[in-house]
């Protein structure tokens, strides 16, 4: 469970916890012998992923949280957000700051990047709206919900990205064209009021900055170079039909020394995502 502020303006619950405590309106406040007060809730997020408070004192909010925790077997920890698992995707536009790009060109590139990514994620069977995102100026950080099969990120997403990038580049002049580096990893992340952080996020961006990845894209006629972390390769990539396209490289960036696995995408055929079990739609649960 994650508390965004000690003042408790919002609460984020893991799904396994929500299954045991979804009737928030039934929670009452006050000590034994006192008249119960209705929990001051504003609204419950789609998919019961979060709750916002309408008002009430800090004490009242803490009592609400304590009541929910009692139902779920949890405990209250001040200012200690708990990590949650996410698949992490980071992309960066090659040469975004090239002097040939004017401000107007950069606006077109950013607009094209977001359109390509939204379409590619949806085509690959990954709901863009269910992912949390952070803009990075010349790139994007995307956090994919844990239940989404990670194999989609290597079997379907890269080729869908290539298709979208080729479509964009085919109708735009050179300063507005896009070539991307993309890094794949997965791990625990912590949300706060500013965004997200965690060692797994740091590693993803170290991979994205790796010299072998930059060199691979620079020497490629294609529009996308992908690097997977060692963990992601061992646990996901090597069990897929595209594993043979990856090669191991050494990554040394700042304080990080690790291994990565690079794949260059020269094709645009999209691998159809496998059919997934039907389940209720989950809304976005951005904890901000």
Residue 182 sits at the vertex; the CA angle it makes with 138 and 133, to the nearest 5 degrees, is: 60
Q: Band the pLDDT of 79: cuts 50, 70, 90.
A: low
162-171: pLDDT as tens digits = 999 999 999 9
C-alpha dihedral sign at 155, 195, 207, 109: positive
Give the least confident one: 31-45, 91-105, 168-182, 238-252.
31-45
So what's the pLDDT on residue 54? Answer: 46
Q: Band the pLDDT of 285: cuts 50, 70, 90.
A: very low
CA distances from 227 to 2, 63, 118, 233, 272 (A): 30, 46, 20, 9, 22
Could you give phi then psi for residue 86, rounded to 5 degrees?
-145, 150
Mean local confidence (pLDDT), 259-281: 61
Give the least confident one: 44-48, 121-125, 133-137.
44-48
Mean local confidence (pLDDT), 159-179: 96
Alpha-carbon distance of 177 to 167, in angstroms, equals: 10
Highest mean pLDDT among 29-43, 45-59, 125-139, 268-282: 125-139
DSSP 96-147: TT-TT--HHHHHHHHHHHHHHHHHHHHHTT--GGGSEEEE-SSEEEEEEETT
Give me the count of residues in the chain. 288
Alpha-carbon distance of 60 to 14, in angstroms, equals: 22
Could you give phi then psi for residue 76, rounded to 5 degrees?
-90, 125
So what's the pLDDT on residue 118? Answer: 97
Whether the predicted pLDDT of 188 surpasses 50? yes
Alpha-carbon distance of 87 to 150, in angstroms, equals: 7
Whether the predicted pLDDT of 76 surpasses 70? no
Burial class (CB in 10 A: 0-12, 13-18, 19+), 253: middle
Tokens in use for 162? 């290539």
Mean local confidence (pLDDT), 217-232: 96
SS3 202: helix
Give the least confident one: 34-38, 89-93, 109-113, 269-273.
34-38
Domains of the chain, earliest start first? 2-72 (no CATH), 84-265 (3.30.70.1230)
Any idea which residue has 């997403």 for tokens? Answer: 157
Whether the predicted pLDDT of 214 surpasses 70? yes
So what's the pLDDT on residue 82? Answer: 79
> How many Å is the Cα radius of gyration of the chain?
22
Q: What pTM did the predictor assign? A: 0.68
pLDDT above 70: percentage of residues in the chain? 64
61-73: pLDDT as tens digits = 555 555 555 554 5
So what's the pLDDT on residue 193? Answer: 83
């Amino acid at each position: 469970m994650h508390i965004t502020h000690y003042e408790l303006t919002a609460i984020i619950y893991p799904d396994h916890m929500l299954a045991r405590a979804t009737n928030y309106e039934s929670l009452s406040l006050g000590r034994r012998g006192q008249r119960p007060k209705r929990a001051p809730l504003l609204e419950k997020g789609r998919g019961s992923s979060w709750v916002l408070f309408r008002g009430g004192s800090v004490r009242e909010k803490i009592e609400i949280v304590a009541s929910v925790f009692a139902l779920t077997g949890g405990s209250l920890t001040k200012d200690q957000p708990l990590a949650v698992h996410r698949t992490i995707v980071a992309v960066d536009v090659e040469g975004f700051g090239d002097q040939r790009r004017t401000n107007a060109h950069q606006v077109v590139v950013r607009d094209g990047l977001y359109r390509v990514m939204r379409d590619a994620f949806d085509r690959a069977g990954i709901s863009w709206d269910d992912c949390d995102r952070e803009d990075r100026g010349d790139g994007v950080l995307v956090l994919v919900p844990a239940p989404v099969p990670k194999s989609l990120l290597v079997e379907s997403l890269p080729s869908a990205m290539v298709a979208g990038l080729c479509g964009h580049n085919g109708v735009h002049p050179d300063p507005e064209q896009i070539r991307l580096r993309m890094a794949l990893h997965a791990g625990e992340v912590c949300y706060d009021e500013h965004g997200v952080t965690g060692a797994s996020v740091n590693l993803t961006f170290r991979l994205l900055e790796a010299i072998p990845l930059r060199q691979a894209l620079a020497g490629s006629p294609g529009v996308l170079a992908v690097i997977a972390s060692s963990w992601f390769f061992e646990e996901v990539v090597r069990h897929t039909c595209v594993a043979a396209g990856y090669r191991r490289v050494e990554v040394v960036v700042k304080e990080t020394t690790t291994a990565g696995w690079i794949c260059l995408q020269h094709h645009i055929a999209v691998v159809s995502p496998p059919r997934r079990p039907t389940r209720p739609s989950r809304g976005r649960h951005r904890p901000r």
